[in-house]
Amino acid sequence: MSLVFLVGLLYLWEVCLAANNASIVIKRSSFPKGFIFGTASSAYQYEGAVKEDGRGQTIWDKLAHSTGKVIDSSNADVAVDQYHRFHDDIKLMKDMGMDAYRFSIAWSRIFPDGSGQMNQAGVDHYNNLINALLANGIEPYVTLYHWDLPLALADKYQGWLSSRIINDFATYAETCFQKFGDRVKNWITFNEPHNFATYEDIVGLQAPRAGNSETERYIPGHHVLLAHAAAMDIYRKKYKGKQQGSVGITLDSFWYEPATNSPEDIHATQRAMEFYLGWFLDPLMFGDYPYSMRTRLGSRLPKFSTSESTLLKGSLDFVGINHYTTWYAKNKLNNSTGSVHNDTMPDSAFRNGKPIGDRAHSKWLYIVPHGIRSLMNYVKTRYGNPLVIITENGMDDQNIPTMPIKNALKDEKRIQYLNNYLTNLLASIKEDGCNVKGYFAWSLLDNWEWTSGYTSRFGLYYVDYKDNLKRYAKDSAHWFKNFLASS
């Protein structure tokens, strides 16, 4: 694997650079027949209505109301109010020609306390949303967990730090399979466990940290994997035969390139990929953590029993990948064990003082279109070319409250980002044989962007936070509509 990875990495690094600044005009018809295009969202960032219809509180409700945790001191109590406006937002998707919509169910709307009594009003809401999507020819892709842990479970047993959460999540997942699985054919158990299982990630603090000691650091992710496997086992044994759906997981991954051509930095790049993507995908594909994690972490990394490993291996129908950016990795080991990042090694978007690409608004998001092609080839080579869906890809602009709306709608940089990333994704499919079947842009609307609050705009549609959350199509929305209509 190592030699194949190195050869592939160096090849793609050199030959794909030409596509980085390409302005190739692509068409929907260039993609394989049946390829799915959609937009993505999450319950906490979109819904609002946090105290309506029996919804329980989440860890993010608590954090958003904690002083100093969110850049602009905002919260998502209203967010973009999709709870009340989903019919209008579905019209926007239909007008664009989108095939699918990826949204998440709020666990605390189904079980306000995370377990126990089911909340019928929550079930009714998602039934209405799913039915409305299908009535408009839009396929629902449903994420069961997009970071919004019921606060009651955090208070009860520290959430993902406790193995008790495995059964509670499995019960919640099965309830969703029961209530919605006759119409929902594409399930995603978790969104970005690498992100929410650590929280102290280098790109910025998020919700209350997962663990406070070296022995706790990798436990949340371990429980996430076992919860995913438990949910998949239930689905395969009890629902798949009748419902004929698919279950996957969404993993976020940067692409990493070596800071130099030295063997040490190239090896460091592979190690970075294993700690990032491999942390979760290796157990799901091979039944255990990557070798680099097991050797570097030793007893700090939890172990799977033989039965757990068997349950994990192959426990997915597709791999969801959220990809936004590419960074460099360098073989300068950090002996500090203060974070997961330090357990891996330093990485940076800069080499010799120069950035790897043009930057979006977010300090971590650099525009490197060929990275998505390289990442797809890495997944193909390391994991045997599994079915992949790009479940998020996009870039943000700064929210400038004083900017006239007509100027904010002119988002040429986003158009170039989408065009060039899709061009490289298409090359990975057509030229490299990568098994990619779908693409979801992040995001349909500007929204509440976690600890960045409303300072960041990722949407194809501009949301006017000053005027009743009115939606306005940006130039990128028109571009996407034309792209989807192209032949």
Catalytic site residues? 192, 392
Q: How far apart are CA 365 and CA 199, in angstroms?
A: 18
Burial of residue 465 (number of CB atoms within 10 Å: 0-12, 13-18, 19+): middle
Sole residue written with tokens 């994704």 = 425
CB–CB of 175/144 below 8 Å?
A: no
Q: How far apart are CA 265 and CA 222, in angstroms?
A: 28
- Sign, Cα dihedral of 346, 226, 392, 204: negative
Buried b (16+ CB within 10 A) or exposed e, 427-449: bbbeebebbbebbbbbbbbbbbb
The whole-angstrom distance between residue 340's C-alpha and the CA centroid of its chain comes to 19
Q: How far apart are CA 152 and CA 68, in angstroms?
A: 23
* Residue 165, number of CB atoms within 10 A of its CB: 26
CB–CB of 460/444 below 8 Å?
A: yes
Amino acid at 247: V
